[in-house]
Structure 1
């Protein structure tokens, strides 16, 4: 993402930078929200990547720390590739993040294999921690034709399986080739405004929940199992 400037059509009189201090209780961490963005296409002019980059610019302008993972070179999920550099990079970014944005093209009525491979490489459990549990998630998709919501619905399902907190709003861009200029910047319109809405919502949810994530994800069944295991150890 070489160009980090916001577009001139963004109306800054209505642009919100969430007040970290106001949203957090005394003593809570006040560092910028850490957001990881994933996209699901390797094409040279990938509209999912362009939309992801636009989302990253907005998040950064709102005060977040953002990282975009480039899926090029990521192997298919396979036990023999556990120590592949791209796998290790992705997993480290997942641990670093407090929230994520997933953006996929819709291909044959579904999210792409590139997107699914990234999700599959992030483990549910690793080294005594759950890399995605309790973290926030925003989902977006780009369509080559008519409006559809198959990919975002499937990513919501994946996020639920990964024990993430998906924000209510989402982005689906139909005929995405009409929504970006020659330089790859998103054109003004309802889909750009929706992207602003969703990134603002993601950032607010992240700031509101990150400090209470351990409490929100504390489960009776897991406490019970831990107690039983401790009793057997004694």
Structure 2
């Protein structure tokens, strides 16, 4: 087996820095978690599940903020400086992890949920507001248990380069899982929600100080080096 791989750009190809991966976490502030829900109904069960998740996160020592999607325009129907778009981008930039919770409607996530995700860009100049952050996905259903919405949310999470945790929550017949005070009743579905939030906090603590290193890619280093070389050559001319 050859020692060298001639198709690689050796200047951009680097060994894995094991010591950097294993270094202790440095941040001491609570994990910052943003929660998004996908319904504007007055009694929205995705909102109620999100509020329950925020309570759990707070008990686990995280700082949780929930974005209210009411008033958020459709993508391309407003400018990025729209107040609700700016509000969403501010909390996306602030957070270190996210929870996405959507109702299942017609076998898919809702348009409200998709609109929020569509407003989040992969990059803002040199800033990548989602890359390397953690994500937990949840859904509520009016009927029997389904996983269509969480499966779609996972696809979007990977596309947004989020670290989507393995566990997830799907609550069927959500109207029967909340009491008159809009609190989730004790049940295996509540226990699963606790499991998911616990796992999200753990993954966030493990990765937030290593996010830049974890998403550092050979292909992007190579591209950056090539762009720098072009600029140097153009100046030399």
1:60 equivalenced with 2:58 (yes/no): yes
The alpha carbon displacement at 1:102 in A equals 0.2
Distance 1:114 1:177 in 2: 20
Is the 2:25–2:206 Cα contact (8 Å) retained in structure 1?
Answer: no
Cα RMSD over matched residues?
1.1
Residue from 199, 210, 213 that aligns with 2:211: 213
CA contact (8 A) 1:36 1:69 kept: yes
Q: CA deviation at 1:129?
A: 1.1
Contact 1:171-1:195 at 8 Å conserved across structures: yes
Normalized against structure 2, the TM-score is what?
0.87
Query: Aligned to 1:81, what secondary structure does the other structure show?
Result: coil
1:193-233 CA distance string (max 9 Å, x none): 00000000000000000111111100111000100011111
For 2:189 and 2:24, the matched residues in 1 are separated by 37
Distance 2:229 2:80 in 1: 34
SS at match of 1:163: coil
C-alpha contact (below 8 Å) 1:75/1:81 kept by paired residues: no
Q: Do residues 75 (structure 1) and 73 (structure 2) align?
A: yes
> Number of aligned pairs?
211
User: Which residue pairs with 2:147 in the alignment?
Assistant: 149
Ranges in structure 2 where 5+ consecutive residues have no aligned partner: 1-21, 233-237
Query: Would you say the 8 A contact 1:111–1:151 is kept in 2?
Result: yes
CA shift, 1:82, in A, is: 1.4
SS at match of 1:57: helix
Residue of structure 2 equivalent to 1:44? 42
Structure 1: 4+ residue segments shifted above 4 A: 24-27
Cα shift readout 1:4-33 (whole Å, capped 9, x = no counterpart): xxxxxxxxxxxxxxxxxxxx9546111100
TM (norm. structure 1) is 0.88
3-state SS in 1 of match to 2:209: helix
**Considering only CA atoms, is the larger Rg found in Structure 1 or Structure 2?**
2
Give SS of 2:91's match.
Answer: helix
Query: How far is the alpha carbon of 1:190 from its aligned partner?
Result: 0.2
Show structure 1 runs of 5+ residues with no match: 1-23
Asked whether 1:138 is paired with 2:158, we answer no
CA contact (8 A) 1:37 1:52 kept: yes
TM-superposed CA distance for 1:79, in Å, is 6.1
Taking the aligned partners of 2:199 and 2:25, their CA distance within structure 1 comes to 23
The answer on 1:33 being equivalent to 2:31 is yes
User: In 2, Cα distance between the equivalents of 1:179 and 1:29?
Assistant: 37
Q: Closer, same or farther in 2 for the Cα pair 1:61/1:72, shift >3 Å?
A: same
Q: Distance in 1 between matches of 2:231 and 2:83?
A: 38
Structure-to-structure mapping, 1:188-207, within 5 angstroms:
188-207=186-205
Query: Separation in 1 of the partners of 2:227 and 2:184?
Result: 53
Deviations 1:47-70 (A, max 9, x none): 000000000000011110110000
The alpha-carbon distance between structure 1 residues 126 and 194, as it changes in their structure 2 partners (threshold 3 A), is same
Give the structure 2 partner of residue 223 of structure 1.
221
